[in-house]
Structure 1
């Protein structure tokens, strides 16, 4: 999939947007001040280490980054090729992205790559960026899995088929993906702005390419592109997670190391360095997109330096200061004044100069002229009302806390290094971090005045100026020189890798009905990455009477958001700063049927974090202006649904499954889009307050889960203070829902001007997830459509016929009553959506007639088994499991029974369950798109 939008260092984890140039061969530079942390296999050279991550190089030029951690039972392998849309020549638009798709089509040794990955339980995908293409897979940390994946990736580096017949089938898939992106007005406008801003440099190209070039590219030309760039001296392997570095290096050398270094002197094989420099812009540029949509969007973009430039860090700081909510200048000038529903700034992060963009989302009736005037007013006032030291320090406090959390996890850090590889050295990530933390208000104000000039703007109408105001963007600095004074930080402590066997997990859990309030609690004491405690509290609210009110349900959706808009003695900014100082996170959610509090913090700061939660929960300010902002945003989202095929199809499907006697206002009534908009418009802040005072508080049903180095006495005393005197006036009762089985029907919704169409299908039946039939039905549906690449449906409509980029089937069942459903979804072009429906019907009929093979069943069972083990090694997933078990009155013993039931499924039992519950003649099908009717 392509990455169309790129940002700078994200506020917490840094998500720079990748972009690179084709690179010449760079010799390994071994640091004289460092020694290899492990014994090196023959042919492997140590390069350098920093902050828990080490770089090695093979004789064939392959670079290897290792980031070991023992915090869970997972490994993630990235194979990153330094090739993207910037490397495409005339007629090759979209070739790098198309090649990404083709590498899932197999090799002589691995003819079914999607199926092989699924059998291993790997969560695998790939991404194409302007400067690189990345293949990544997360999987259970076993030697067998690592052996398999390194063998697979080394094989497809140089042995992928790239057959003309595979290309022909994949073209429709890529065009379907292209069309899905064309449905998004924001994507369309951003692509147009980027292309208009860059007249010469290929960084302005769309990653997914030009439709005509994608359709017409010959397989021979694609194979030539592949042979040049998919080579070890143009690739980086990054392995993070639970592994032994010495073993990993031996395995990488045994697989990738056997690939010969290419002869770059041969015609067509040289990697040519990027020498194009975008000239200064001589005046404003205007670009517009006119397509069907609900709300206007404004993007004002300015040419700005490369990621490693000191100016880029100052621009990033400017983006944070301007984009803050609700105190940022963009937010106040545009959202606070009701001119827009959203506003912010982003900075591209490439190895070459890119764009800094101011983005404004308007309400459907918003004035573009007024919003653009206000936007330019914010920019112009930066000279008379500059950014202050306090503005910068406030952001620094939050960034320091975020970087500290990231530093505690080398594996997570390694993920963020991938976009920095095109710069020439992965350690540039740390340079950008340090530069950002060293930025001053003077730096920010200087770059604003340097780059935010009318002559450097792409967006507005052309206005001649009395004199040239060109801006010369400096070239990217030399990364080697910049690293001379770099001092790596010390690696932080690791977490604990638990035994994920259900019995072993249950032995670690303490389950109690705690506190005088009767909250059911589950505690799992363990070491967590970064020495943190994870806590979640759920309180169930309401009953059939309270939920019968549609106004209660709608107003409930605002309560949590309004609580987070300020409390007595604790403004939004003060809360952010307090949490940053505590290195803590806090989230409050919920509505009319429940409230939830989740947080993470070092154990010594847990009580203070819960005290902040108490203030937020118990002492809200209820600002009217913030409610109006939220309401405008939600109304805008609903209005945008009028031209979104997926939204319209979902509503139509929901209405088809509501009870025949349901009336507007009933809990079982599924509202139309117009009805939702009308109900939202009628809401008031008093409605929200009424839900809070009439429902929110401790009820007769609540669950608490805590994972980490916890102290029960601290947790329980803090929870007691949090909830003391905070009681719901209404007793909680679990709601029941009727089983609705409408007659089979096919609905066609015509949505103008949308190049991508969607198909949704569903059937209801009586089934609980504890019934004996659930496990075999789940296995059957997983084989049919449970994987987007290798299931029967995906193999048919994507791999063989090339009709759909995304398709799948699933089964769901309630734990509390016999309510189950079989659901299918797929995307395709409007011209192909009927073919997808035919394929679905034929594959379902084939499954019902012929059943499943033992190999299909065992592969899905193996995938589920590995995925389950991996999920149970993740602390956040464990927290969720404990909450769910506590609510349902279950333990990991129940999980073990479910595991056993899944592994006991046979082809015969899977077929019997499918025949019992799924009937093609009972499916309700909805198709939405531009069908020309």
Structure 2
């Protein structure tokens, strides 16, 4: 379960139109009691006689189904004393009904990836699974059951309460989250948007169970919900399944409470100051803006993008490049009622907050004096529409996006907002920015009286009926053909070959297949160097990879960003040590050009001095933040405990202080020398999965690599097993509401070992699934942790790996967490897993493997790994088969063979002294 801020501006776009036409025209058989009401670009709305609305968005190009149930209830509906109820009920609906007592465990056994989220305007329950009509009908049945039969039992609430507190405390660890909450509280005088979704601690901890049940029965009803089914499914049988399950629920007789609170226009600056331990300084400015349905929202969203994007944004230029801040940001919240836009900057401790805040607000409020340009608008619009394209092309993301649009007034707003962005004129963007980004409409860190009111236009909720009357959307929408995503077919359809170039070879894995929106995912891996040639180069190697896109001999940082935007390409460069990875997501026609540009960037990077200094500031700020965070402290402690290498070895893990010193010592000359010596051809792998032209891609690679020097010869750096003595650490983190537990056990085993399949399943049953032993005990039964689990990391290259465990929890619950961990691991070692756990785990993993095969990005990444290991998708199919053939004795024997509680190194990081004092005082 998770909290969701009111969705940050969706920044999404359009795709092509065609093969839903037969369905839209009435080819589907509509059962009695269901009426089709509207259809836009392949998405059709139906209404049941009990008031439930249904959206069907079929897409056969990916063999997965995603189901969202959106209830039109969020923290906006909560009254005094009721805060946090919507979020509590998000948790409680998973606790069970008389027929399904552990919904999350049942989801896991059936291979569903499921969760929920709560915001101000809606609560959303969603699940994704490998397309299967039986699984779909079962899940629809569960949704019907949970809608009217959830127990909302006192005992369940008691066990879940520590988990909710844990989630609350996790949010309280973030200075930004708390600053945003406080600023919203000051911004809204009467409207419920001023209350944080998770609720007041006193309301949550003292919630009346009968009042909570009454809230559930009031809002969790068919006429207050919208069901969204997206991905691969049969519309006819799905409508029938909906009729047979959710359609059987009676139409409610109660009346929903009328909402009438309107936030008055703010008539003067407001301020808030937050003081807490840890982290680095922040300054921010918040402004009231129109509701998501308003015609002014889209141009104002574009104005926000112009101000906050990096590196073209005005805030970036005025704060970061002038060294007044380490970074700058901005976003809008699209909500049913008038929402907010927030802008801010993160500072180094030595930076002046007053100067930074003045520069921030002056930049935002000087638009009338310094009007926006057409170039700025075109760049912002391009980025917005690229994001829209990517969301609409993904059946799993489209359901969430439609859910957010529903919460903002109507699902068709998802398309209407795209149209409004397309049509936005420079004059409109300029007008709304001048109207809303004014001093009297601002919340910041100080108060200053004004001689006369400066008020933004009054806002009201928008009636979308006229705007959406007869709305049909983009007529160019198109559907993609189905693809068999089995390992055997992936192997069969993938072209695997080697490009033998004069200056080296490139290993290829190219899987061309139809996709929605003609999308394609690609990955390029460049490898160089060894443990000897990379001595003393750890920080330099990281910085070179991070700074590649900051400029070349021919292109500035902004020009690089703009060119990738023009190619509708989402491109990420990352690397450290011996590796550089480039991940590309774009469209069929743009992939060759995106590859060419990416290679130009890598070859021509020139590391501008100002960008190097800016990068150093940002990394130093991030390290300073990490030095007070429990998870970062615990993870670094474990990594250094298992660290036998000398300080100049690339495998060495430095202290935070050593990292700061190393980053401070970086110079442009160091980066240029490293790039010249190590980057080049020699050891390169490339994969692409999706809709693309195989010949055009190969031609782009040949041309982009032609004439490039060979890089430093690559040899994989070994990571041999070594014994690590067990040790227990306790780290004090003053004033942190959350604590973190981490444990590490080194293993001398390789993934070709006969034990690997059993070890993989044993870890899954112990702590990597939604029905694992650790999850059931610590999360579900005891309610001690929001996130708890175990993980396995086993090498493919040598007998070396690790078994680890983790949990976040309240510092005062440390003893209870330790006892629960001891109880569950001891019970597994003594009694073993059960036959039912084995059966459920095998089935669940099989379904998760199937789900992974259908994700183009996952397949592209897997092909890179397999190319480097001499493998193909037979590997994962064999692993799936081996897991299915495991006996219970094999799994339990392997668990006992490798899992040694006494050999774990543990770290507990948190504010334990504070709670020790509180306990003593009591």
When normalised by structure 1's length, the TM-score is 0.94
Contact 1:401-1:581 at 8 Å conserved across structures: no
| CA deviation profile, 1:353-401 (whole Å, cap 9, x unmatched) | 1111111111122210110111122124212111122221232334344
Distance between the aligned counterparts of 1:761 and 1:57, measured in 2? 51
Is 2:590 the partner of 1:605? yes
Paired position in structure 2 for 1:27:
none
**Which of the residues 164, 172, 184 maps onto 2:162?**
172
Determine the structure 2 residue equivalent to 1:667. Answer: 650
1:5 counterpart residue number: 5
Is the contact made by 1:310 and 1:435 (CA closer than 8 Å) also made in structure 2? yes
Distance 2:904 2:391 in 1: 47
Counterpart selection for 1:571 from 549, 556, 581? 556
CA contact (8 A) 1:784 1:793 kept: yes
Deviation at 1:723, TM superposition (A): 1.4
C-alpha distance in 1, partners of 2:743/2:343? 40
Aligned partners of 1:588 and 1:803: how far apart in 2? Answer: 38
Match of 1:216 in 2: 206
Alignment correspondent of 2:217: 227
1:928 matched to 2:913? The reply is no
Q: Does 1:518 align with 2:523?
A: no
Q: 1:784 and 1:404, CA in 2 relative to 1: closer, same or farther beyond 3 A? A: closer
Q: Is the 8 A contact 1:6 1:347 kept in 2?
A: no
2:918 corresponding residue in structure 1 = none
- 1:394-433 aligned within 5 A: 394-408=379-393, 412-433=397-418
In the alignment, structure 1 residue 81 sits paired with structure 2 residue 71:
yes
- Pick aligned residue for 1:256 from 243, 246, 250: 246
Q: Quick check: 1:66 aligned with 2:56? A: yes
Kept in 1, the 8 Å contact 2:40–2:471? The answer is: no
Query: What displacement does 1:157 show?
Result: 0.8
Q: 8 Å contact 1:117–1:124 — kept in the other structure?
A: yes
Aligned equivalent of 1:92 = 82
* Distance across 2 between alignment mates of 1:799 and 1:7: 28
Q: Distance in 1 between matches of 2:522 and 2:266?
A: 52
- How do residues 724-803 of structure 1 correspond to structure 2 at under 5 angstroms? 724-787=706-769, 789-803=770-784
1:684 matched to 2:684: no
CA-based RMSD: 1.9
In the alignment, is residue 654 of structure 1 matched against residue 639 of structure 2? yes
The Cα of 1:2 is off from its aligned counterpart by: 4.5
Q: Match for residue 332 of structure 2?
A: 347
Structure 2 match to 1:274: 259
Counterpart in the other structure of 1:318 = 303
1:689-729 superposed Cα distances (whole Å, 9 cap, x missing partner): 12211111112x32221223444432222212211232344
Matched, 1:545 2:532: yes
Partner Cα distance (1:589, 1:667) in 2: 17
Q: Does the 8 Å contact 1:568/1:615 carry over to 2?
A: no
Q: How big is the shift at 1:606?
A: 3.0
Which residue is 1:911 aligned to?
892
CA contact (8 A) 2:58 2:230 kept: yes
Measure the CA separation in 1 of the matches of 2:382 and 2:625: 36
Where do 4+ consecutive residues of structure 1 move more than 6 Å? none
Contact 1:2–1:208 under 8 Å retained in 2: no
Aligned to 2:686: 704
Cα deviation digits, residues 450-498 of structure 1 (max 9, x gap): 1222222111322111122233422122110111363411363333433
The 1:497/1:837 distance shift into structure 2, 3 A limit, reads: farther
Residue aligning to 1:194: 184
User: Is the 1:757–1:929 contact (alpha carbons within 8 Å) kept by the matching residues of 2?
Assistant: yes
List gaps (5 residues or longer) in structure 2.
15-22, 915-922
Q: Which moved more, 1:467-476 or 1:272-281?
A: 467-476
Superposition pairs of residues 782-931 of structure 1, within 5 angstroms: 782-787=764-769, 789-931=770-912
Q: Report the more deviating stretch, 709-718 or 765-774.
A: 709-718
Query: Deviations along 1:874-900, whole A, 9 cap, x unmatched?
Result: 221221221111110012222222121
Residue aligned with 1:803, SS:
coil
Q: CA deviation at 1:405?
A: 4.8
**1:394/1:711 CA distance change after superposition, 3 Å:** closer
Output the CA distance in 2 between the equivalents of 1:67 and 1:340. 44
Q: Is the 8 A contact 2:289 2:341 kept in 1?
A: yes
Look up the SS of the partner of 1:117 in the other structure.
helix
Query: Helix, strand or coil: the match of 1:301?
Result: strand
Is 1:96–1:133's contact at 8 Å kept on the other side of the alignment?
A: yes
- Closer/same/farther in 2, CA of residues 2 and 604 from structure 1, 3 Å limit: closer
Rounded Cα–Cα distance in structure 1 between residues aligned with 2:197 and 2:400? 21
- Identify if the C-alpha distance between structure 1 residues 765 and 106 changes in structure 2 by more than 3 Å, giving closer, same or farther: same
Residue 554 (1) aligns with residue 539 (2): yes
Farther off after superposition, 581-590 or 276-285: 581-590
What CA distance in whole angstroms lies between the structure 2 residues aligned with 1:73 and 1:272?
41
1:623 to 608, 616, 624: 608
SS at 1:932 equivalent: helix
- Choose which of 281, 286, 292 in structure 1 pairs with 2:277: 292
CA drift at 1:12: 4.2
Within the candidate set 224, 232, 239, 1:242 is matched to 232
| CA-CA distance at 1:48 after TM superposition | 0.3
Larger CA deviation: 168-177 vs 608-617: 608-617
Q: 1:860 Cα deviation (Å)?
A: 0.8
1:307-363 Cα shifts (integer Å, max 9, x gaps): 111222121111111112222110011001111111122111101011111111111
- Alpha-carbon distance in 2 for matches of 1:187, 1:501: 42
Matches within 5 A, 1:95-110: 95-110=85-100
Match of 2:917 in 1: none
**1:544 aligned counterpart, secondary structure:** coil
Moved more, 840-849 or 598-607: 598-607
Deviations 1:75-110 (A, max 9, x none): 000111111111111211111101111111111111
* TM-score normalised by length of structure 2: 0.95
My pick for the range that moved more, 376-385 or 67-76, is: 376-385
Q: Distance in 2 between matches of 1:419 and 1:195?
A: 22
Distance change >3 Å, CA 607–CA 504, structure 1 → 2 = closer
CA contact 1:758–1:833 (8 Å) conserved in 2: no
SS of structure 1 residue aligned to 2:38:
strand
Deviations 1:232-254 (A, max 9, x none): 11111000000011111100110
For the Cα contact (< 8 Å) 1:739–1:766, is it kept in 2? yes
Change (3 A) 1:284 1:217: same
Deviations 1:285-304 (A, max 9, x none): 11111111231111211111
The more displaced of 485-494 and 342-351 is 485-494
For the 8 Å contact 2:7–2:335, the answer to whether it is kept is no
Q: Which residue of 2 aligns with 1:531?
A: 518
Which one of the candidate residues 31, 46, 54 is aligned to 1:41? 31
Shift of 1:914: 0.9
- Matching of residue 589 in structure 1 with residue 571 in structure 2: no
> What residue number does 1:21 align with?
none
SS in 2 for 1:720: helix
Q: Distance in 2 between matches of 1:334 and 1:608?
A: 33
Unaligned runs of 5+ in 1: 15-32, 265-269
Q: Of the candidates 356, 370, 381, which is equivalent to residue 371 of structure 1?
A: 356
Q: Secondary structure at the match of 1:318?
A: helix
Using the TM superposition, give the Cα deviation of residue 596 of structure 1 relative to its aligned residue in structure 2, in angstroms: 2.2
Change (3 A) 1:881 1:410: closer
